[in-house]
Structure 1
Amino acid sequence: MSHISLDMDAVRSEIGEYADTQTALSEREQAYKDLVGFVPPRIAARLAVTGAIDPKLLRLQEEVRNHALYPACFDTKTAQLIVFGMLLARLLDAATLHARAARRAGATWEEMQAVVSLAYLYGGIPSANRGAEIIAQLAEAESKDRLDTTVKA
């Protein structure tokens, strides 16, 4: 996944402060932290920029996102597995974030591979390769996190 590095103080100085008076920036960020574990850089940029310039549009974007991402008929794990597969079949880098969210919501390695297999049917070997890479990166990160937790304990 490509990462952007922004000096958010410079952004706020140039564009202005977050201006949504209905929902605090920290509350918006928490929704992403709960789902993915952190606020991805592109999302942080959208929250800061659109939240300063057009807070009404940001509210609408987040309302639609929440409505679509958390349908009553699916649990979070299922929705995240679906989104992971959709993004993976299109080889979009956000697939990594939704794979992580699926794992955080309880998806097993077998379920993750099943999604990669489905994406492969429509996206071919590139989807299979990218999906395996994402799973391997998640496994490595989870192993490192467990090791770090054990060492600190």
Structure 2
Amino acid sequence: MLPARIDVQKVRSQMGAYADESQSIERRTKIYEELVGFLPPRIEARFHVTGALDPTMLRLQEEIREHGMYPGCFDVKTAQLMLFGMLLMDLSDAAVLHGIAARKAGASWEEMQAVVNLCFLFRGLSAANRGAEILARMCAQEEEARP
């Protein structure tokens, strides 16, 4: 469901090490681990590639992401449900990450399905099918993660 991880050592060897002095890679990683439970592979790639080649851009990207993703007028659950729906409308695989984040923030399965239903109204069966697949896989992952 998620893309393969990059080979960090090869990136470092060819492009250099993460060089953003404003924030350690461990601290950047922790933000995503708290939101979705892990560092998504594409974000890991951006951290290591952009963090080595243009650390100022990485810092700016993360500042803008934080500002946009956590508006004061929405709680995290609401923002993540909206992002899940927006990305599902595009059939983006990033919808999975925001679905996971919505669940971690307290969204119920009924709320998740309601977002899929809204997407169906304007995107059709493609969104309904993809949404159901995402929810089913998330359900299985949550079941497997139970102690």
Q: TM-score range by the shorter chain?
A: over 0.9
Give unpaired runs (5+ residues) of structure 1. Answer: none
Matches within 5 A, 1:3-152: 3-146=3-146, 149=147
For residues 4 and 137 of structure 2, the distance between their equivalents in structure 1, rounded to whole angstroms, comes to 19
For residues 145 and 23 of structure 1, the distance between their equivalents in structure 2, rounded to whole angstroms, comes to 30
In percent, how many aligned pairs have the same letter?
56
For residues 116 and 32 of structure 1, the distance between their equivalents in structure 2, rounded to whole angstroms, comes to 24
Letter in 1 for 2:67: H
For residues 2 and 96 of structure 1, the distance between their equivalents in structure 2, rounded to whole angstroms, comes to 8
TM-score relative to the length of structure 2: 0.97
Q: CA deviation at 1:5?
A: 3.1
Q: Helix, strand or coil: the match of 1:72?
A: coil
Counterpart contact for 2:2–2:41, Cα < 8 Å: no
What does the per-residue CA deviation read over 1:59-104, in whole Å, with 9 as the maximum and x for residues that have no partner? 1000000000000000000000000000001100000010000000
Letter in 2 for 1:64: I
Letter in 2 for 1:141: Q
Structure 1 residue ranges (4+ consecutive) displaced by more than 4 angstroms after TM superposition: none
Letter in 1 for 2:87: L
Q: CA deviation at 1:2?
A: 4.2
Give unpaired runs (5+ residues) of structure 2. Answer: none
Q: CA deviation at 1:20?
A: 0.7
Letter in 2 for 1:94: A
Q: How many residues align?
A: 147
TM-score relative to the length of structure 1: 0.94
For residues 115 and 141 of structure 2, the distance between their equivalents in structure 1, rounded to whole angstroms, comes to 20
